[in-house]
Amino acid sequence: MHVSTDVRLLSLPTIESLGASHDRAPESHRQLVIIRVEDDDGCHGWGECSALNRPTYTAEWSDGAFEQLTTGNTNDVGPMAAAGREMAHTDLMLRRDGRSLAASLGVACPTVPAGAAVGLMPVAELSDRVDSLVATGFGRIKVKIQPGHDVGPIEAIVDRHPDLDLHVDAN
């Protein structure tokens, strides 16, 4: 069966910049590489390449991944681009079979709490930001940390929200 591929490079505005230890440059937009595959029967699947706007802690970036995925050489792509392509093909196969990804993985819980990511910022500002996110219904928060900005921020959040599903990202 033949599968056609459509690769798009999108640029979406960001609500706020996400400061991380590997890159503190403010971003007004987030580039995303989206992959859509379609078989002869019209069934389709979607995938997304997670590469960032520019190389930071990995050599892969969105423009480069887009170029790799659109040049026609299917073997010469980076791991993030390859994962996006595989995600699209997996989605296609699951849709053909009428199964969800959750069902194929044996996941029993039909939903997960909404999550948000918070970048590096002063502890007081971080605490207020987490308070705001929790108040608007976010049940999971991922906080960026770095050496010297790790224990204090996490303690401040846990003190205010001891039952919060908290994730810590040090890249």
pLDDT of residue 94: 97
Residue 7 corresponds to which amino acid? V
Burial class (CB in 10 A: 0-12, 13-18, 19+), 111: exposed
Q: Are 130 and 159 in contact (CB under 8 A)?
A: no
pLDDT of residue 155: 95
Residue 57: its H or E element = none
Q: Are 154 and 166 in contact (CB under 8 A)?
A: yes
Chain segment 109-144, per-residue pLDDT in tens:
878 888 999 988 899 999 999 999 999 999 999 999
Residues of the chain scoring pLDDT < 50: none
Question: How far apart are the C-alpha atoms of 107 and 103, rounded to whole Å?
Answer: 6
Question: How far apart are the C-alpha atoms of 167 and 3, rounded to whole Å?
Answer: 38
Residue 76 DSSP symbol: S
pTM given for the model: 0.77
pLDDT of residue 30: 86
Other CB atoms within a 10 A radius of the CB of residue 150 amount to 14
| Cα angle for residues 10, 13, 17 (degrees, 5° grid) | 120
pLDDT of residue 120: 86
Question: How far apart are the C-alpha atoms of 147 and 108, rounded to whole Å?
Answer: 37
